Amino acid sequence: MRALLVVAGHELRSRLRDGTAPLIALVAPILLATLFGLALGGDDDPPLKATIGVVDLDGGEFPASVQREALNTDELKGVLTFRQYPDEAAARSAVDGGETGAALVFPAGFSEGVGAGRGGKVSVLESPQSPLAGVVARSMVDRISALVEARTLAVRASLEAGVPADRVQLFVEENGAAGPALSLVGDPVAGGRVDLAVHYGAGMAVMFAFFVVGTTARSLLVERQNSTLDRMRAAPVPLWTALVGKSAVGFGLALFSMCATWLSSVLVFGASWGDPLGVFPLLLAHVFAATAIVMLVASRAKTDAQADGYTLGVAFVFAFLGGSIVPVYNLPEWLRGISLITPNGWVSAGLSELAGTGAGPSAVLVPIAVVTGIGVVAGTVALLGFRKGRFA
């Protein structure tokens, strides 16, 4: 234990001495998070402005009420504009041309189908250029689908119960099964639209955690090349002392870095990342996973330059796939699933939950568990490699 402290103290002094630690742990992530936040987010602006096209091939009551309800929700008031298009092709070219961010297509006979309990399906046209409109549109469709489903079930149940078909719609509506027609209040785009200041703040924090730990991995490789690692391993302490002592410093600095980026995001943008009791354990789990992953890839490196390269590669690939740079919903469908093999993806998802819905710590238990699990697996493999003489 004392030897661990000796190694850690020495590592910490070296990191502070060489001056890159403050740069990588504090200046760079905070600066980038702030710049991204200023450029793309911010709390004073409406979080988004979206124009959504509507193709109403139905002409019935349903599409009209959806639009009315949406425009009346607190969240979307003043944010959302609907624009009508005669057919899907017109809407498609409007979306592609950037005139509108996304479009909803109500098929002919939609209202009638729903009324008769046959259900119905609204489709969405999206463009990668305006992800936010796409998210809003998709979330509206989700709500519509839920409503349609509820109403379809109610109609079916009523029919089964013997209500005559020509009276069933009225019956269902009178009995409230249709519910308040459409409600988007609260979280129109939960899971997709977290304030961008939060999104980029978290993304940078998550990505730089890898870089911060990377400086420690690098120093381990430098010490191997210098033979000072041999000297440490020849000292009367367990062989893992050097690895663990140094990793602990990487861990501590990365945690410090993430918390500092978090704090700066709160101070600069007044953005909330959600319940701190949920955020902190999530960040803690991420730092653990990042440390284990970086140590694992570094244990496969032969020189410090190689270790740098590996760390950089892993950090960027994970950041990209995990939504730390580009929001996950901007990625093609098949990549979205892959985001969940990265700790970044789980942290993003967890933070969206915390910040986007105001959920409590229990909402992120799964992300925390998964990220910790990723860390345990990577750490175990790294230690096994170490036993076999890696870093020797």
Please report whether residue 230 would count as binding another protein according to CB under 8 A. yes
- The dihedral over CA atoms of 59, 64, 65, 70, expressed in degrees to the nearest 10, equals 140
Candidates 3, 64, 260, 326; binder of another protein (CB under 8 A) is: 3
Secondary structure, 3-state, the chain: CHHHHHHHHHHHHHHHHCCHHHHHHHHHHHHHHHHHHHHHCCCCCCCCCEEEEEEECCCCHHHHHHHHHHHHCCCCCCCEEEEEECCHHHHHHHHHCCCCCEEEEECCCHHHHHHCCCCCCCEEEECCCCHHHHHHHHHHHHHHHHHHHHHHHHHHHHHHCCCCHHHHHHHHHHCCCCCCCCCCCCCCCCCCCCCHHHHHHHHHHHHHHHHHHHHHHHHHHHHHHHCHHHHHHHCCCCCCHHHHHHHHHHHHHHHHHHHHHHHHHHHHHCCCCCCHHHHHHHHHHHHHHHHHHHHHHHHCCCCHHHHHHHHHHHHHHHHHHCCCCCCHHHCCHHHHHHHHHCHHHHHHHHHHHHHHHCCCHHHHHHHHHHHHHHHHHHHHHHHHHHHCCCCC
Candidates 68, 77, 167, 231; binder of another protein (CB under 8 A) is: 231
Interface characters, 297-336, with another protein (x: CB under 8 A): ----------------------------------------
Please report whether residue 10 would count as binding another protein according to CB under 8 A. yes
Least separation in angstroms between residue 227's CB and another protein is 4
Site size toward another protein (CB under 8 A) is: 22
Please report whether residue 268 would count as binding another protein according to CB under 8 A. no
Please report whether residue 163 would count as binding another protein according to CB under 8 A. no
Pairing relation of β-strands 123-126 and 102-106?
A: antiparallel
Q: How far is CA 27 from CA 18, 32, 205, 258, in A?
A: 15, 8, 11, 12
> What is the spatial distance between Cα 94 and Cα 99, in angstroms, rounded to a whole number?
5
Interface characters, 11-50, with another protein (x: CB under 8 A): ---x--x---------------------------------
Candidates 97, 98, 238, 313; binder of another protein (CB under 8 A) is: 238
Q: By CB under 8 A, what part of segment 209-228 binds another protein?
A: 226-228
Closer by beta carbon to another protein, 162 or else 236: 236
Candidates 150, 239, 338, 363; binder of another protein (CB under 8 A) is: 239
Candidates 218, 233, 286, 390; binder of another protein (CB under 8 A) is: 233
Please report whether residue 390 would count as binding another protein according to CB under 8 A. no
Least separation in angstroms between residue 1's CB and another protein is 12
Least separation in angstroms between residue 19's CB and another protein is 12
Please report whether residue 385 would count as binding another protein according to CB under 8 A. no
Candidates 116, 159, 181, 237; binder of another protein (CB under 8 A) is: 237
Closer by beta carbon to another protein, 10 or else 92: 10
Please report whether residue 1 would count as binding another protein according to CB under 8 A. no
Q: Nearest-CA neighbor of 54 among 100, 121, 113, 112?
A: 100
Least separation in angstroms between residue 216's CB and another protein is 16
Please report whether residue 161 would count as binding another protein according to CB under 8 A. no
Least separation in angstroms between residue 231's CB and another protein is 4
Least separation in angstroms between residue 11's CB and another protein is 11
Please report whether residue 236 would count as binding another protein according to CB under 8 A. yes
Closer by beta carbon to another protein, 38 or else 239: 239
Least separation in angstroms between residue 13's CB and another protein is 9
Least separation in angstroms between residue 388's CB and another protein is 9
> What is the spatial distance between Cα 218 and Cα 309, in angstroms, rounded to a whole number?
10
Q: Which residues of the shown chain bind another protein in the complex (CB under 8 A)?
A: 2-3, 6-7, 10, 14, 17, 226-228, 230-239, 389, 392
